[in-house]
Amino acid sequence: MTCLSENEQGAELLTGYLSKALDAARMAELGRHIQECADCRGLASVWQRLDEFAVPEVSLGFDARLYARIAREEARIPSSSWRRWLWRPVAPLAAAAAVVALVLGFLHVPGGPDSAKQASNVEIEQVAQAVDDLDLLTSLADTRER
């Protein structure tokens, strides 16, 4: 078996292996390879650790606040060419500021006078995913009770 890093479908195989979604023969084959190959073992362990990383829930209206912040930052950037040139070395600093803004976004607790406005910015995709899951967790119970 070729190593996962050299296989075009390596990422898919590894995800399937970690979620035990592969068929029994593939699971066994890949399991044996991972035991024998240190590189693939390392790769699998990194993926496993990434998978175990608990992502904190994004606070209400996070995206809206982030985009507003980015818009404000962009508005502050001077427009003349020499000033723009001056900004170039500051790019890493701006990146760091964006990271800080992200962290602040996570830490910000919703509430206060503009909470009603923020409620309108509920992340619809987050809602749609939760609705999918809730529906999936109830649908068989419905079938059972029919």
Partner 1 sequence: MRFLITIAALLALALSPAAAQDNILRQKAIRQQKAKQQKQQQLKMVPLPAPAVERFLQMSPEDRERALSQLAPERRQQVEQQLNRLQQLSPDQAQRLQDLYPAFLNLRPVRRQAVREELKELRQMRPALRKDRLTSDAVSFSPDEMSILRQVTGIPE
Contact criterion met (CB below 8 Å) for 44 and 14:
yes
Determine, following the binding rule CB under 8 A, whether residue 25 of this chain makes contact with partner 1: no
Contact criterion met (CB below 8 Å) for 22 and 54:
no
Candidate list 51, 70, 80, 109; residue touching partner 1; CB under 8 A = 51
Burial (0-12, 13-18, 19+ Cβ within 10 Å), 69: middle
Which of 14, 61, 53, 8 is closest to 33 using CA atoms?
Answer: 14
Q: What number of chain residues touch partner 1 (CB under 8 A)?
A: 33
Determine, following the binding rule CB under 8 A, whether residue 9 of this chain makes contact with partner 1: no
Determine, following the binding rule CB under 8 A, whether residue 131 of this chain makes contact with partner 1: yes
Determine, following the binding rule CB under 8 A, whether residue 20 of this chain makes contact with partner 1: yes
Which of 55, 35, 54, 57 is closest to 45 using CA atoms?
Answer: 35
Looking at beta carbons only, is 80 or 145 nearer to partner 1?
145
Q: Which stretch binds partner 1 (CB under 8 A): 1-9, 47-55, 73-81, 85-93?
A: 47-55
Q: Which residues contact 40 (CB under 8 A, 6 or more apart)?
A: 3, 4, 5, 33, 34
Candidate list 6, 25, 38, 52; residue touching partner 1; CB under 8 A = 52
Looking at beta carbons only, is 40 or 60 nearer to partner 1?
60
Q: Which stretch binds partner 1 (CB under 8 A): 35-43, 73-81, 100-108, 129-137?
A: 129-137
Residue type, 65: R
The footprint of partner 1 (CB under 8 A) covers 15, 18-21, 51-52, 55, 60, 119-120, 122-124, 126-128, 130-145
